[in-house]
Structure 1
Amino acid sequence: MAQTVLHIDSSARLSGSTSRDLTAQVVERLGAKQVIRRDLATPLPMLDEAWIGANFTPADQRTDDQKATLALSDTLVAELQAADTIVLGAPIYNFTVPTNLKAWIDLVARAGVTFRYTEAGPEGLLTGKRVVLVIASGGTEAGSDIDFACRYLRHMLGFIGLTEVELVAADQQMVDAEGSAKKAQDAIAALAA
């Protein structure tokens, strides 16, 4: 049983969303003692010059304005740090992730906070956590040459140290809705609680 789950949804659809439905089932299956909820349907701010300037200013030298600029990013990182398991729902839009999910990644991938550079290359700092990645698509097959979402998410999650990634895919729903749903349900049933 997971102690603390960070439940993230990124679908723009608040109702009728396959990825939202499946992430809720995964969270229930895991039986967490505590669930931190992060819904990305409300867009996050995009990185801008002020954010980048604040981020690259040493923490002990930041102005109050710079601290305020990084406050949301700090909260998002703290959610990741507090979680034992991350359940991340991502529909595939135009072969990749929704823009709101990309904005979340931009806000949590921070040098010296969630990863660091070493002589051997970058090293993720959010280690020892489990990720259940829930993917939904109409026509894109998860893991195929045209699936840029799964590849990108696995890379970015690994970059910040989240390398234990399990996939629940309800892909190609427009091709075989019944088969897609069964495959996703089988993957959820196979998850260790």
Structure 2
Amino acid sequence: MPKLLHIDSSVLGPHSVSRQVSAAIVERLRQATPGLSVVYRDLSAMPLTHLSGAQLAAAQGAASPDPVVQEELAQGQAVLAEFLAADTVVIGAPMYNFTIPSQLKAWIDRVVVAGKTFKYGAQRPEGLAGNKRVIVALSRGGFYSPGSPVAALEHLESYLRGVFGFIGVKGLEFISADGIQVGPEHREKALASALEAATQLSAA
């Protein structure tokens, strides 16, 4: 049975464009893929803690009697297991201050793990997650395409390309809604275009 992991990170709830687009992507893949199993994780409603020195030490084998640290480690292991089990990953990723939400960064810190999703080789690191399809629903308030006045501030798509490329993901796809803060007309046009693009996706 094919497995899909759906991740949302926007803090805007039903007002979020990235959530609407990620939901449309998942619905399209449900319709196109018989028997698709979906696991959903809302990083805003149930945020992960950010990495701490105590967590890293315990993860590397140091004894930690602190039950809070043990719970944080268990959450991190559960998140990693969800990612490893998924054939397809759909991520809703809005741009906050030119990059990803901190909630999504905390999730990424749990899935980019040496020995699990990448390994250090003799010449360079080697990604171990190359068998996954990752689809990202991006939303950005302005326009950051190459050549635009603020192109150098685009650290959302570029960061995600770097991270998932590092762990070996080759089937990386983006559906973008840009200019959603320019005005209501731009917002509706960008959302409609992204939702239409979601309907064109191939089966999971």
Alignment partner, residue 48 of structure 1: 52
* 1:123–1:161 CA contact under 8 A, matched in 2: yes
Which of 109-118 and 63-72 deviates more?
A: 63-72
Task: For 1:14 and 1:191, locate their aligned partners in 2 and report how far apart those are by CA, in whole Å.
Answer: 24
Task: For 2:60 and 2:132, locate their aligned partners in 1 and report how far apart those are by CA, in whole Å.
Answer: 26
Task: For 2:72 and 2:195, locate their aligned partners in 1 and report how far apart those are by CA, in whole Å.
Answer: 41
Alignment partner, residue 133 of structure 1: 136
* 1:86–1:131 CA contact under 8 A, matched in 2: yes
* 1:91 aligns to 2:98 (yes or no): no
The Cα of 1:115 is off from its aligned counterpart by: 1.2
The Cα of 1:191 is off from its aligned counterpart by: 1.0
Alignment partner, residue 39 of structure 2: 36
Which of 155-164 and 73-82 deviates more?
A: 155-164
Name the TM-score, length of structure 1 as normaliser.
0.88
Match of 1:167 among 163, 174, 191: 174
The Cα of 1:68 is off from its aligned counterpart by: 4.8
Structure 2 matches for 1:1-16, cutoff 5 A?
Answer: 3-16=2-15
* Residue identity in the other structure for 2:168: G
* Residue identity in the other structure for 2:122: E
Q: Number of paired residues?
A: 189
* Residue identity in the other structure for 1:182: A
The Cα of 1:146 is off from its aligned counterpart by: 2.0
Q: Residues 32-74 of structure 1, C-alpha deviation per residue, up to 9 Å, x if partnerless?
A: 52101111003211111111112333xxx87786765421111
Task: For 1:121 and 1:18, locate their aligned partners in 2 and report how far apart those are by CA, in whole Å.
Answer: 38
Which of 132-141 and 176-185 deviates more?
A: 176-185
* 1:95–1:140 CA contact under 8 A, matched in 2: no
Alignment partner, residue 21 of structure 1: 20
Name the TM-score, length of structure 2 as normaliser.
0.84
Task: For 1:62 and 1:26, locate their aligned partners in 2 and report how far apart those are by CA, in whole Å.
Answer: 43
Structure 1 unpaired stretches of 5+: none
Identify if the C-alpha distance between structure 1 residues 142 and 67 changes in structure 2 by more than 3 Å, giving closer, same or farther.
Answer: farther
* 1:181 aligns to 2:191 (yes or no): yes
